[in-house]
Structure 1
Amino acid sequence: MDLQLFQCWRVALLLLLMPCGHQCVSVHILNKEPLHVIPGSSLVLKARIEQGPLEKVSMVTWEREDETGIAPTRATLASCPGESSECSGTRPNVRVNVEQQETTLQINGYSRADGGVYAVTVTDHTGAKTTAHCIVREYEAVNHVSVSINMSHSSLVCGEAWGTDPHFSWLHERVAISRTVGKVSEDGSLLLVTMTPICGHFTCMVSNKLGYSSATYTAGPCETEGRGTTAAVVCFVLLLLFGGALAFLLWRRHRLNNRGDSLHERLEETI
């Protein structure tokens, strides 16, 4: 029993003395990938550092390279000693903050040239390194909205070229879609038309943080009850006017005839 206990202690001591390698310190970027940034705003990347109780971070390095290309070149944005709370980058608009379990990269005045693959590398006291990556892209406005119809399925499809995080909404005759007109799909890009026949103007609006754009599909004119009622009222009024005019003419003719008869009778009496 004492021999087994001695062997357990021996194994534990060997594990403590063994170099940790890449598994002792790990780093994870907390931002959702890919991250889209509006030009002119600030790019902020946060990464969490996990380390063992006997491990120390000696260096934190942030780098960037192009997302596409045959042989993209990686450029160093900042290299900070592990014990430094804040350090400057290689450019005036770059700042890096290093805490015990977190590091933050901030680039002010983001431009299209700042897009690419960002890498944060953590080096421990033994020289072992671990790296995490995040893709950063420019936030694009919505572009080239179009509406097409699928007659076989009685549906309208709204398309958009390359805008970031597009949100779709539909209008029929400038009014939000009702159940009598149709049903919008979960992502908003498809409108299943239930009204028969398909008529009027269908407008798809696509928007995001930078604005909106729209496109309209025009079907045949709708024959609504309101228009039918209006036409009936107009016809009835016209009939009344025509009837009134005809009655007036008949009355006037009758009156003129009566006056003629009266004059004729007076002339006979005088003679």
Structure 2
Amino acid sequence: MDLQYFLCWRVAPLFFLMPCGLQSMSVHILSEQPVHVIPGSRLVLKARIELGPLEEVSMVTWEREPETGIAPVRVRLATCAGRSLKCAGTRPTVDVNTEQQETTLQINRYSREDGGVYAVTVTDHTGATTTAHCIVREYEAVHHVSVSINVSHSSLVCGEAWGTDPSFSWLYERAAITTTVGKISNDGTTLVVTMTPICGHFTCMVSNKLGYNTATYTAAPCEGRGTTAAVVCLVLLLLVAGVLAFLLWRKHRHNNRGERLHEHLDDTI
């Protein structure tokens, strides 16, 4: 029996004797990334800690560093240490709470300076560490909405500069889009115009939690609408003229009857 075969048979049983849960610990931040926060509101980050049966958390630290820069400086925000994992923040607006399988960081009155890359580091009783990261950015309002036309596809495309979570909607002549006017894409950015010819005013409205902004594409005037408006105005003018003529005729007739009655009385006397 050669040496390699002998060692294989000697070492293999050791793997079956090892506990199934000896995998190294890990930590995961639960928030979807990047996290956008409105200035003045509250930032809350939660992280899940996965431990093996023989592992125990001895320290948790939360830190932050700028998202960009040549040599970003990492700032410690909070530390939880000891068997009870007692936590302490480095400033009054920072609160942190940690258990064996979860840690939560909360920053009150979030400001622009609080943006960056957040890191949570977990240390076990042997000194081994694992780290998870999360990008946090300021929630931006909607800016610079524009509408352009794709003539070859008979469609209007709405664009927006850098707002967070923009939501797109369309109006035609200040009313909601109907199937006779066009069809809106699933993301709301494109309006495929089905009416022919393309005429009137098309407005794209982009909104988020901080407000909205609009842009309007003005096509050629709709001929049918202009003719209809002219006809309506002419009818109204004719009605007004007819009413005035009737009132004048009635007044004139009343005056004539008064004069004839007066003459008849004079002749009788």
Match of 1:207 in 2: 207
1:167 deviates by: 0.2
Please show how residues 183-194 of structure 1 align to structure 2 within 5 Å: 183-194=183-194
The answer to whether the Cα contact below 8 Å between 1:84 and 1:98 also exists between their aligned partners in 2 is: no
Give the share of equivalent positions with the same residue, in percent: 72
> Per the alignment, in what secondary structure is the counterpart of residue 224 of structure 1?
helix
Match of 1:39 in 2: 39
In 2, distance between residues paired with 1:151 and 1:145? 20
Report the RMSD for the aligned CA atoms in angstroms. Answer: 2.8
| Structure 2 spans left out of the alignment, 5+ residues | 1-8, 246-269
> Per the alignment, in what secondary structure is the counterpart of residue 223 of structure 2?
coil
The answer to whether the Cα contact below 8 Å between 1:86 and 1:96 also exists between their aligned partners in 2 is: no
What is the letter of the counterpart of residue 62 of structure 1? W
What is the letter of the counterpart of residue 84 of structure 1? S
Match of 1:267 in 2: none
Residue-pair matches, total: 234
1:71 deviates by: 1.3
1:224 deviates by: 3.0
The answer to whether the Cα contact below 8 Å between 2:118 and 2:134 also exists between their aligned partners in 1 is: yes
| Structure 1 spans left out of the alignment, 5+ residues | 246-271
Match of 1:84 in 2: 84
TM-score (norm 2): 0.79
The answer to whether the Cα contact below 8 Å between 1:82 and 1:98 also exists between their aligned partners in 2 is: no
1:184 deviates by: 0.5
1:88 deviates by: 2.3
The answer to whether the Cα contact below 8 Å between 1:157 and 1:190 also exists between their aligned partners in 2 is: yes
What is the letter of the counterpart of residue 63 of structure 1? E
Match of 1:150 in 2: 150
Match of 2:129 in 1: 129
Larger Rg: 1
> Per the alignment, in what secondary structure is the counterpart of residue 156 of structure 1?
strand
Question: CA separation of 1:26/1:157 partners in 2, compared to 1, >3 Å: closer, same or farther?
Answer: same
> Per the alignment, in what secondary structure is the counterpart of residue 152 of structure 2?
helix
In 2, distance between residues paired with 1:175 and 1:236? 26
Deviations 1:73-102 (A, max 9, x none): 111111111533552211111111001210
TM-score (norm 1): 0.78
Of 78-87 and 61-70, more deviation after overlay is shown by: 78-87
Of 227-236 and 73-82, more deviation after overlay is shown by: 227-236
Shift >6 Å, 4+ stretches: 5-9
Residue 29, structure 1, aligned to residue 26, structure 2: no
Please show how residues 11-26 of structure 1 align to structure 2 within 5 Å: 11-12=15-16, 15=18, 23-26=23-26
Match of 1:51 in 2: 51
Match of 1:249 in 2: none
What is the letter of the counterpart of residue 143 of structure 2? N
In 2, distance between residues paired with 1:146 and 1:176? 19
Match of 2:182 in 1: 182
What is the letter of the counterpart of residue 83 of structure 2? E
